[in-house]
Amino acid sequence: MKKSSNLFENLVHGVFLILGLVTIACVLIISLYLIVSGIPAILEIGLVDFLFGTQWASTAAEPKYGILPFILTSIYGTFGAIVLGVPIGVLTAIYLSKLASESVKNIMGQMVSILAGIPSVVYGLVGMMVLVPGLRKLFNIPDGASLMAAIVVLAVMILPSIIKMSVTALDAVPGDYEDASLALGATPEETYFRVSLPAAKSGIAASVVLGVGRAIGEAMAVMMVAGNAPNMPDSLFQSVRFLTTAIASEMSYSSGLQRQALFSIALVLFLFIMLINALLNFFLKGEKKG
């Protein structure tokens, strides 16, 4: 009896171990695959020409493979989304965590969850049909599909994760701190901004990093609203291409060095995301300590 239950336990243990290993294996295989398939093109083009070349003309007679426009577009686009989305998200979180009544908090919390669940292609679609023509009319430009449109869409897309994580962080601030501030004669508003927010800062920072991760990895929605021309992002109203969309838009018809270069772009994107993950872990660790 004892023996068979041991056997069963070992079996279960083994199954779970294998399932865990599958996940790890996926990460390792993807990493390895990206490195192996991404490096040849970089070697052939030259690291500096690849990363800092300002021209991408993969199908020209004399092809150019400079991805600086994509890198800058991804950085600017993400940065813009953060500049737009973080204040809105954090202020919303303060409202939900500290000011809203229980019922408002519930309803708005559910809305935020729905926002998180909307597929990115739907964001792209709405952006394409509403935002792009709107921007064109508002700023009187020839085409609304631009960096600006992508920033707005990304800002909306990162809102749910920023709001949810910030609310969690703000809810976790001990009431003692707020009481102490109020007892010193500070107004509730002062208390939220000078005590609650600083006390929740590592959680909020983590939410921002998570937002950065979402924004930089998003492909479908930005492809639909950014215009997708491989320009340097000199202006907010220029048609631009992101790292993600650079891969997605050419992969289906690419070949040879062009295809290899797309893998190299994927490798660059992957490195960006690894960096963001490292930052996220750093902040979350800080939160546990603090």
Partner 1 sequence: MKPIITAKDLCLWYGQSQALKNIDIDIPECSITALIGPSGCGKSTFLKTLNRMNDLIPGVKITGTVKYNGTDIFAQDVNLLRKEVGMVFQKPNPFPMSIYDNVAYGPRTHGIRSKARLDEIVEQSLKDTAIWDEVKDRLKKNALGLSGGQQQRLCIARALAVQPQVLLMDEPTSALDPISTLKIEELASKLKEKYTIVIVTHNMQQALRISDRTAFFLLGELVEYGDTDQIFSNPADQRTNDYVTGRFG
Shortest Cβ distance from residue 92 to partner 1 (Å)? Answer: 23
Q: Is 103 in the site for partner 1 (CB under 8 A)?
A: no
Among 60, 176, 252, 255, binds partner 1 (CB under 8 A): 176
Q: How far is CA 201 from CA 55, 58, 205, in A?
A: 40, 44, 6
Q: Is 187 in the site for partner 1 (CB under 8 A)?
A: yes
Q: How far is CA 42 from CA 25, 65, 192, 260, in A?
A: 26, 9, 50, 9
Q: Is 284 in the site for partner 1 (CB under 8 A)?
A: no
Site string for partner 1, 115-154 (x = CB under 8 A): ----------------------------------------
- Neighbour-count burial of 168, counting CB atoms closer than 10 A to its CB (0-12 exposed, 13-18 middle, 19+ buried): middle
Sign, Cα dihedral of 114, 120, 125, 127: positive
Q: Evaluate whether 78 touches 273 at the Cβ level (below 8 Å).
A: no
Q: Evaluate whether 217 touches 244 at the Cβ level (below 8 Å).
A: yes
| Dist CA 217 CA 221 (whole Å) | 11
Segment near partner 1 (CB under 8 A), from 156-164, 176-184, 228-236, 241-249?
176-184
Q: Is 199 in the site for partner 1 (CB under 8 A)?
A: yes
Q: Is 184 in the site for partner 1 (CB under 8 A)?
A: yes
Among 6, 190, 234, 278, binds partner 1 (CB under 8 A): 190
Of the two residues 151 and 195, which places its CB atom closer to partner 1 in the complex? 195
- What would you report as the CA-atom Rg of the chain, rounded to the nearest whole angstrom? 23
Among 79, 95, 177, 270, binds partner 1 (CB under 8 A): 177
Structure token pair of residue 231? 């320009």
Q: Is 106 in the site for partner 1 (CB under 8 A)?
A: no
Q: Is 197 in the site for partner 1 (CB under 8 A)?
A: no
* Pair type for strands 56-57 and 64-65: antiparallel
Q: Is 244 in the site for partner 1 (CB under 8 A)?
A: no
Q: How far is CA 258 from CA 40, 65, 223, in A?
A: 11, 8, 19
Q: Is 270 in the site for partner 1 (CB under 8 A)?
A: no
Shortest Cβ distance from residue 178 to partner 1 (Å)? Answer: 9
Binding site for partner 1 (CB under 8 A): 174, 176-177, 179-187, 190, 194-195, 198-199, 290
